[in-house]
Chain A
Amino acid sequence: MKLAVWTYEGPPHVGAMRVATGMTGLHMVLHAPQGDTYADLLFTMIERRNHRPPVSYTTFQARDLGADTAGLFKSACQDTHDRFQPQAIMVAASCTAELIQDDPGGLAETMGLSVPVIALDLPSYQRKENFGADEAFLQICRALARPMARTARVTCNILGPTALGFRHRDDLAEITGLLSELGIQVNVAAPMGASPADIQRMGAAHFNVLLYPETAESAARWCEKELGQPYTKTIPIGARATRAFINEVRALSGSTLPVDETRLRQPWWAASVDSTYLTGKRVFLFGDGTHVMAAARVARDEMGFDVCGMGCYNREQARPLRTLAREFGLEALITDDYLEVEAAIEAASPEMILGTQMERHIGKRLGIPCAVISAPVHVQDFPARYSPQMGFEGANVLFDTWVHPLVMGLEEHLLHMFRDDFEFHDAAGPSHHGAKAQPLPHSTPAAPAAADEGGSMPPPSAPLSLENIVWLSCAERELKKIPFFVRGKARRNTESFAFEKGLREISIDTLYEAKAHYAR
């Protein structure tokens, strides 16, 4: 048993619903009690879908439990088959139905339905939403895709985009366009937009483009093994990764066609002098593993940020993320407990968070700006405009999105110069945002903060530690003159510097010596 206040991922059947809802001509029958129908609103409200998800629920009640829930499931299957006439039916149980062990797959098989039945086994008490999506897509491919003759021209499948995915709609459009420039037609993009009949002809493609390992890595591996299709490993998020992706596609396809980079503005936007102020901004990254790993590279290599923390909520990506974090000199945070994420962010006191909607709320509370880079999604993550994360336009979007929450360059200077102005003070927040940011609460322990010159001092015998270093009040006052968005860093750096030098107290001189020491 584990206490959860907010969750990053839904249950596995919601992942399977994301696959079913992204597709056409497929209908899912979910053995579930009535409350589980809430999941429909994720698609109709958050994503603003204009159709109900293709999901029929058995909505069994307590009075059915002693009677015939299996019969209820079979009649729901038959009704679905007759009413919606899908090309294939996918059947699964939600967490409650898993407990009553009706075996939807076995029941559906005995019914002699005229269309293929794809049975899912979703362990609701062990796994989560991304697993459910990945597993559902894998089972759909296993049930329907077969080796076949390749298309005459080089084609590929795009694997991964689902309903309710973070910018999947626009990523798919962007990457389809990019492949087209390379002279490669998309055979099938799946799950999003594909029908069971499309899945059946996936084997005709020469290779696969895997956009989201979270939802399609198992399917990509299966296609590699069973259909002989290699798949791309680079996730084209950021200008550099997009170029690497292009090279990977060229190697797989033999394409030598040029790619037009004139639309790509991000590298020059980052290089132009106005962006100098971005240099070394400390950012904390949290989200799904794929987006965090890609964003970490963009943050460091293309934006000039300093990555001070990173982590993901999906354990499936823990290993590659830990490896990348070590390369950045960091320890990755792998957790789905948002209170732990909040504590880690507070401790790192970054100048910006690149996270999910959860981190956006954490940032609001801590007064740290945040840009959203990953699911879980929110109605705001489905903009009306074209806004991909991938490809060259995606790189442009990343630049704009990540810079927007920050105090802009000249404004930052003005805050340094006129920090005591009663209207233009450092707690007022960026001038282009309505909401007022709150200064970071200091995480300094009570004793040193209360200490004054000549005040209570830790006994000289106590071993020196970061916790018992004392700020003299003059230094404390000087620290307050530093704008809030760098104050946390200045405090931490100064304390580390004092600790390294074996100093028990921090004076104004210590503060500026530390500043010189860490000067970049």
Chain B
Amino acid sequence: MSAHPATCSSAPVLKERGQREVFCGLTGIIWLHRKMQDAFFLVVGSRTCAHLLQSAAGVMIFAEPRFGTAILEEKDLAGMADANEELDREVGRLLARRPDIRQLFLVGSCPSEVIKLDLARAAERLSVQHAPHVRVLNFSGSGIETTFTQGEDACLASMVPTLPQTQEKELLLVGALPDVVEDQALDLLAQMGIAPVRCLPARRSNDTPAIGPNSVFALTQPFLGDTHAALLRRGARHIPAPFPFGAEGTLLWLTAVAAEFGISPDVVARVTAAPRARAEKSIAAAAETLRGKRIFFMPDSQLEVPLARFLTRECGMIAVEIGTPYLHAELHGPELDLIAAGPTLSEGQDVDRQLDRVRAARPDLTVCGLGLANPLEAEGLATKWAIELVFTPVHFFEQAGDLASLFARPLRRRAILEAPNLEAAE
């Protein structure tokens, strides 16, 4: 990556190792189980894991969820019960009750990792037992190893070694997107003449993509470092690009993909002209609220760097601090190249010290987790909950305006509520 002196790519990184106020990777199950419609996520963990899953969604999702927790009990830990036999029994019951399930993910948690319960072997054993109807995989969403969106990364990475082999030159889109957004991306790529395009994760296990030495892949999410590495190990090649957030990010992402397939910038320009104009128009509306406002990112989803690029370059915001749980040089490099130098870049967290910096900087908007949002609002600091950014369709042209609006809404709301009371003034 070229390091231009005026960008963040050469900025020093403040590395923090204190208390981290973040979700663990299990949280990813909340969106992954909606995306993969024939998959079930079985967390092997504690009551805390189960409580997290039902609390983190903000509201309980009460359609029969395709996730659950096998709660470890005293007898499992004391060795009075064979945890593997117990797991086999619970999986058997679960699959009997849900015959529609084709993929089962055994998800490791903090307790299962600490007691070294070997879920990889359990997955192999259960795969044999339940083949060919159900395939059993495993990954860890534990808080001692994964932060929030890294759960999705671990899940997708666990699927890569099992993908069938192909020699075709095919494009693979990697990252769980809402179906409507994924369809838009596929449509744009098809209009440029790129087809077929496969997606990881696939909506149903029948559509599982194949992979091989001629495959190329583009990431749609900035937190997929392990999946990226696993795909490289399978011989696939990565198309580095900024992420498809905002009109600019989407255009750069599509241009990079098109270049890989020998498609000229003219074709890209023609196909993207209309949606890009729509995106720019809708971003402009929100940017009126955002321009000149100072924004502070607490580390949360690893979306912070691309979002800072979008908000500073397309919405006229000023970044004060860009905190991210993990700064992945290879994936975030193209983004950092585009962000003007100035903001503090921080990796990891020491939450109380970071809050001291927020209070000193008094930004107009702080992007943070749900645990911090109301306390900061009560101190007079407007916030944007980070979790909404992973639960809302925000990628590609048609959602670029929505993405900008997510940041504008807290500021607009604050302005409405703080407006002088005209009736009282009369």
Contact of B48 among A49, A56, A95 (CB under 8 A): A95
Q: Is B76 an interface residue (CB 8 A)?
A: yes
Question: What residues of A have a CB within 8 angstroms of the CB of B375 in the complex?
Answer: 44, 49-52
Q: Is A197 an interface residue (CB 8 A)?
A: no
Contact, CB under 8 Å: B51 / A10: yes
A60 to B144, CA, bound (A): 7
**In residues 245-292 of chain B, which contact A (Cβ within 8 Å)?**
none
Q: What per-residue 1/0 map shows which CB atoms of B22-66 lie under 8 Å from chain A?
A: 111111000000000000001010111011101110111010110
Q: What per-residue 1/0 map shows which CB atoms of B75-87 lie under 8 Å from chain A?
A: 0110001010011
A95 to B313, CA, bound (A): 45
A289 to B145, CA, bound (A): 39
- Total A-B pairs, Cβ < 8 A: 186
Contact, CB under 8 Å: B73 / A36: no
Contact of B71 among A4, A45, A57, A94 (CB under 8 A): A4
Q: Is B11 an interface residue (CB 8 A)?
A: no
Q: Is B352 an interface residue (CB 8 A)?
A: yes
A333 to B30, CA, bound (A): 30
Q: Is B426 an interface residue (CB 8 A)?
A: no
Q: Is A148 an interface residue (CB 8 A)?
A: no
If A7-B47, A99-B77, A125-B46 touch, whether A34 touches B352 (CB-CB below 8 Å) is no
If A35-B26, A61-B144, A96-B110 touch, whether A1 touches B87 (CB-CB below 8 Å) is yes
Contact of B111 among A2, A49, A95 (CB under 8 A): A95
Question: What residues of A have a CB within 8 angstroms of the CB of B114 in the complex?
Answer: 65, 96, 99-100
A80 to chain B minimum Cβ distance, whole angstroms, is: 9
Q: Is B74 an interface residue (CB 8 A)?
A: yes
Question: What residues of A have a CB within 8 angstroms of the CB of B93 in the complex?
Answer: 3
Contact, CB under 8 Å: B87 / A49: no
**In residues 136-157 of chain B, which contact A (Cβ within 8 Å)?**
142-145, 147
A3 to B69, CA, bound (A): 6
Contact of B50 among A7, A41, A45, A125 (CB under 8 A): A7
A256 to chain B minimum Cβ distance, whole angstroms, is: 45
A59 to B20, CA, bound (A): 6
Contact, CB under 8 Å: A38 / B371: yes
A491 to chain B minimum Cβ distance, whole angstroms, is: 26
Q: Is B115 an interface residue (CB 8 A)?
A: yes
A505 to B269, CA, bound (A): 76
A61 to B114, CA, bound (A): 11
Contact of A95 among B18, B110, B369 (CB under 8 A): B110
Contact, CB under 8 Å: A40 / B371: yes
Question: What residues of B have a CB within 8 angstroms of the CB of A60 in the complex?
Answer: 144
Question: What residues of A have a CB within 8 angstroms of the CB of B52 in the complex?
Answer: 35-36, 38
Q: Is B378 an interface residue (CB 8 A)?
A: yes
If A52-B371, A96-B110 touch, whether A10 touches B47 (CB-CB below 8 Å) is yes
A9 to B51, CA, bound (A): 8
If A5-B68, A41-B370, A44-B372 touch, whether A361 touches B62 (CB-CB below 8 Å) is yes
A9 to chain B minimum Cβ distance, whole angstroms, is: 8
A45 to B57, CA, bound (A): 11
Q: Is B374 an interface residue (CB 8 A)?
A: yes
Q: Is A169 an interface residue (CB 8 A)?
A: no
Contact, CB under 8 Å: A56 / B19: yes
Contact, CB under 8 Å: A1 / B73: yes
Contact, CB under 8 Å: B65 / A41: no
Contact, CB under 8 Å: A1 / B81: yes
A57 to chain B minimum Cβ distance, whole angstroms, is: 6
A3 to B96, CA, bound (A): 14
Question: What residues of A have a CB within 8 angstroms of the CB of B226 in the complex?
Answer: none
Contact, CB under 8 Å: B374 / A3: no
**In residues 143-190 of chain A, which contact B (Cβ within 8 Å)?**
none
Contact, CB under 8 Å: A1 / B144: no
Question: What residues of B have a CB within 8 angstroms of the CB of A4 in the complex?
Answer: 47, 50, 68-71
Q: How many residues of A contact B (CB 8 A)?
A: 57
Most central of A56, A57, A60, A125 by chain B CB within 10 Å: A125
Contact, CB under 8 Å: A45 / B58: yes
Q: Is B113 an interface residue (CB 8 A)?
A: yes
A36 to B45, CA, bound (A): 13
Question: What residues of B have a CB within 8 angstroms of the CB of A9 in the complex?
Answer: 47
A296 to chain B minimum Cβ distance, whole angstroms, is: 25
Q: How many residues of B contact A (CB 8 A)?
A: 65
- Closest B residue, CB atoms, query A364: B62
A18 to chain B minimum Cβ distance, whole angstroms, is: 13
Q: What per-residue 1/0 map shows which CB atoms of B323-352 lie under 8 Å from chain A?
A: 000000000000000000000000000001
Q: What per-residue 1/0 map shows which CB atoms of A301-319 lie under 8 Å from chain B?
A: 0000000000000000000
Q: What per-residue 1/0 map shows which CB atoms of A345-378 lie under 8 Å from chain B?
A: 0000000000001100100110000000000001
A59 to B55, CA, bound (A): 19
Contact of A125 among B51, B74, B370, B372 (CB under 8 A): B74
Contact, CB under 8 Å: A33 / B19: no
- Closest B residue, CB atoms, query A94: B48
- Closest B residue, CB atoms, query A6: B54
If A42-B55, A44-B372 touch, whether A5 touches B65 (CB-CB below 8 Å) is yes
Contact of B378 among A5, A50, A123 (CB under 8 A): A50
Q: Is A58 an interface residue (CB 8 A)?
A: yes
A95 to B69, CA, bound (A): 14
Q: Is A200 an interface residue (CB 8 A)?
A: no
Q: Is B90 an interface residue (CB 8 A)?
A: yes
Q: Is A124 an interface residue (CB 8 A)?
A: yes
B353 to chain A minimum Cβ distance, whole angstroms, is: 10
- Closest A residue, CB atoms, query B70: A1
- Closest A residue, CB atoms, query B371: A40
If A34-B143, A38-B55 touch, whether A50 touches B374 (CB-CB below 8 Å) is yes
**In residues 1-23 of chain A, which contact B (Cβ within 8 Å)?**
1-7, 9-11, 13-14
Contact, CB under 8 Å: A58 / B19: yes
Contact, CB under 8 Å: B77 / A44: no
Q: Is B94 an interface residue (CB 8 A)?
A: yes
Q: Is B194 an interface residue (CB 8 A)?
A: no
Contact, CB under 8 Å: B22 / A52: no
Question: What residues of B have a CB within 8 angstroms of the CB of A96 in the complex?
Answer: 46, 48, 110-111, 114, 143-144
A94 to chain B minimum Cβ distance, whole angstroms, is: 6
If A1-B72, A125-B72 touch, whether A33 touches B371 (CB-CB below 8 Å) is no
A5 to B60, CA, bound (A): 11
Contact of B144 among A7, A45, A65, A128 (CB under 8 A): A65
Q: Is B373 an interface residue (CB 8 A)?
A: yes
Q: Is A126 an interface residue (CB 8 A)?
A: yes
Contact of B60 among A37, A44, A361 (CB under 8 A): A361
Contact, CB under 8 Å: B74 / A123: yes
Q: Is A76 an interface residue (CB 8 A)?
A: yes
Most central of A36, A51, A59, A96 by chain B CB within 10 Å: A96
- Closest A residue, CB atoms, query B84: A1
Which 5 A-B pairs give the minimum distances between C-beta atoms? A35-B24, A35-B143, A40-B371, A50-B378, A1-B86
Point out residues on A near B: beta carbons under 8 Å: 1-7, 9-11, 13-14, 33-42, 44-45, 48-52, 56-62, 64-65, 76, 79, 83, 94-96, 99-100, 123-126, 128, 357-358, 361, 364-365, 378
Cβ contacts A to B, 23 pairs, < 8 Å: A1-B76, A1-B86, A2-B90, A6-B54, A11-B46, A34-B24, A34-B147, A35-B25, A36-B143, A38-B56, A40-B21, A40-B372, A41-B370, A52-B375, A57-B19, A59-B143, A76-B19, A96-B143, A125-B73, A125-B76, A361-B62, A364-B62, A378-B60
Point out residues on B near A: beta carbons under 8 Å: 18-27, 42, 44, 46-48, 50-52, 54-56, 58-60, 62, 64-65, 67-74, 76-77, 81, 83, 86-87, 89-90, 93-94, 110-111, 113-115, 142-145, 147, 352, 369-375, 377-378
